[in-house]
Structure 1
Amino acid sequence: MSKVMFDYTKSILERVSFDLLLFSKELEKAVKTLLPFELEKLKEWLFEFVIEKPELKQCLLIVENK
């Protein structure tokens, strides 16, 4: 079940990546919802994802502080 939640979270983040505020809010929800090992996978994915979208780079602070 956890892979489903992780995939769903990635899907949502990809869809809202056009808006920094919305992306931040969804990322904060994900940080509260995901299990610790899923959060680590999300961090890895996020580092790769922001390479293509540098305007989202500041959102890395959200996951770094958790």
Structure 2
Amino acid sequence: MPRMIYDYTKTVLERVSFDPVLFAKELKKAVKNLLPYEIEQLKRWLQFFIQEKPELEKCLKVVN
């Protein structure tokens, strides 16, 4: 079950990546709902994902 939540979180973040404010808001929700090891996975995924979207770079502060 937790893996489904992690996958859903990534899907939501991909869909709202057009708006940095909305992206940060969804990222904050994700951090509250995910398990610690999932947050680590999400950090790694985010570092890869934001390479193509530099405007989202400041959102990394939410997970650090």
Q: Which TM-score bucket, shorter chain as reference?
A: over 0.9
TM-score by length of 1: 0.95
Please, what TM-score do these two structures have when normalized by structure 2? 0.98
More helix by share: 1
Aligned alpha-carbon RMSD (Å): 0.4
Q: Give 5+ residue unaligned stretches, structure 2.
A: none
Count matched residues.
64
- For 2:22 and 2:59, the matched residues in 1 are separated by 11
Matches within 5 A, 1:48-63: 48-63=48-63
Q: 1:33 Cα shift?
A: 0.5
Identity of aligned residues (%): 61
Note the 1:13-28 alignment, pairs <5 A: 13-28=13-28
Q: Deviations over 1:2-58 (max 9, x none)?
A: 110000000000000000110000000000110001000000000000001000000
**2:42 corresponds to which residue?**
42
In structure 1, give the amino acid aligned to 2:16.
V
The unaligned stretches of length 5 or more in structure 1 are none
